[in-house]
Amino acid sequence: MLICFLQTAFVFSQTKKIVIENSEIQYVDEKKYAGATVLLGNVQISHDGIRLTCQKAFYFKEKNFFKAIGKVLIKQGDTITQTSDYADYDANSKQALSFGNVVLRDPTMTLTTDTLHFDRLNQKLYYRSYATIRDQTNTLNSKNGNYYLETKKFTATTRVTVVNPEHNLESNHLDYYTNTGLTYLYGPSTITNTENKNKIYCERGFYNTKTDVSHFVKNAKLFLKERTIEGDSLYYDKKRGFASATNNIEVIDTVQNFVTRGNYAEIFELKDSLFVVKRAVAISIVDKDSMFVHGDTLLVTGKPEKRVIRTYHNVKIFKSDLQGKCDSIHTNQETGLTRMFKKPVLWSEGNQITGDTIHLISNVETEKLDSLKVLNNSFIVSKDSISNEDFNQIKGRNMFGKFEKNKLRTLLVKGNAESVYFNRNEETLELETITKEISSNILFTLDKGQIETIKYLKKSDGKTYPPSMLPDDVKRLKGFIWREDEQPKTKEDIFLKDNPIDNPSEKDIKVKKPIAIIEEQKSLKN
């Protein structure tokens, strides 16, 4: 106990006393102001590096405490000046409390509030009932805040805004450095561009208010005029119009009803382009159904009305009633034309369609599939309804198909048309005959993927065989190949590699439907 007492006594012996440097009138009135000296007129005091002036004061010498009233001015060195209507100063703890029209200035900012605490020991200012901070770049408002004089850092919480002519930032918790304009966000935050109304939302991140460069790492979303970008990590350079996102990326085109996903993306806002790699997938809405297109690399360019989507290497397509595979694919949303290149194959209602090049044409107004072109070495195969060893086949130079309600309804084969068809009894389903036909042009109509009628537009040469007398060279047309093992049967299958060792274990398609996502983002932007 003696040691503690001596330590305490030593501390208090080191405490400097308030020095009264000037006052026009001094008096003591113990009955009215017990323990106080009343100072009036041009009052000036000093204490350990600060000077205080006011019109009237009460000095409590024993407590080393000072109450200032009227036109209070506190100066700390050559850098900090503070004015207020009233101030209390405890010289022992070096704590000042100012209230009434408080204005504090240092070389980097001006702070205004109604009540301000000044902790001189830790060189910290703090307020709990709203304040406004202005520097050369921004105006910051918040209900609660701490300002650290040595680092020029504000920690602001509760109803925080940072405003400049170009942006408006709203948050519940941030650190802001007045000398650099750097902002660190620690809670739900939104940055709005005042010119074009673009928005950024995040729950943790960094924002440079002077250079308009930002980096967000939690629940980041960037709302552009025509796109919304989400990702685990999001970088945005507003002046360059450049953004990049990493991991669990989702880019939503609210104009074209188009969603892009992947694990790395770059967005060039001024050039209207989007680049996605690492398990990239493009999802478009076709007649209230989602079409998924996956490839190693995905590139989207052009304004909404002239947007072009390119998908490169190992491309797979999945739609509930249409699947496909090729090396690369090119879609022009203005014309509705989708072109598939290098060993393309489509599967539609049990039909396998192949050719050197395949074109899918959509109606740009209804957004429904309209027609199909298979150019050079066209071939359509469907498995017989009963036997897994028998296949109905049609081949020719080119094929032209028409869709009705997104179902392939008619198919015109032009040039060197050949067909093999297995005819079964409608009631017993017993195989009766096999027909081989050759003609320059053949027109087929289909119902639920099965051939309904056949029309030979020019003279045909054909022969019908009973099953027991079918020659081996008739059963398969030249060029026949069955690629069912390559067909994606589910939307998850578009990520499966031909080599099972390379296949991932996680699922890349979120449960929430793209249609619901697009509608949700439209409402958030508004």
pLDDT digits (tens, 9 = 90+) for 345-387: 999 888 899 999 999 998 888 777 889 999 999 999 988 878 7
pLDDT of residue 305: 75
pLDDT of residue 286: 66
- Stretch 281-292: mean pLDDT: 80
Higher pLDDT, 449 or 495: 495
pLDDT of residue 333: 84
**CA 58 – CA 33 distance, rounded (Å):** 8
- Ranges assigned E (strand) in 238-306: 242-253, 258-268, 273-286, 289-301
- Domain residue extents for the chain: 18-99, 344-491
Give φ, ψ of 8 to 5 degrees. Answer: -65, -45
**Residue closest to 367 by CA, chosen among 394, 393, 333:** 333
pLDDT band at 146; cut points 50, 70, 90: very high
78-106 per-position pLDDT tens digit = 888 999 999 999 999 999 999 999 999 98
Whether 7 shows a pLDDT value over 90: the answer reads no
Higher pLDDT, 105 or 224: 105
pLDDT of residue 253: 81
Contact between 60 and 49 (Cβ < 8 Å): no
193-210 per-position pLDDT tens digit = 888 888 899 999 999 988
Whether 10 shows a pLDDT value over 50: the answer reads no
**CA 384 – CA 390 distance, rounded (Å):** 5
DSSP 15: P
Poorest-confidence range of 5-14, 21-30, 78-87? 5-14
CATH of domain 344-491: 2.60.450
**CA 171 – CA 157 distance, rounded (Å):** 8
**CA 80 – CA 179 distance, rounded (Å):** 15
pLDDT band at 12; cut points 50, 70, 90: very low
Whether 124 shows a pLDDT value over 60: the answer reads yes
229-278 per-position pLDDT tens digit = 898 999 999 888 899 999 999 988 877 678 889 999 998 988 888 889 99
- Stretch 13-23: mean pLDDT: 81
pLDDT band at 505; cut points 50, 70, 90: very low
pLDDT of residue 439: 86
pLDDT band at 287; cut points 50, 70, 90: low
pLDDT of residue 498: 58
pLDDT of residue 523: 53
Contact between 219 and 234 (Cβ < 8 Å): no
Residues 339, 343, 344, 346: what is their CA dihedral angle, to the nearest 10 degrees? 170
Distance of CA 125 to the CA centre of its chain: 37
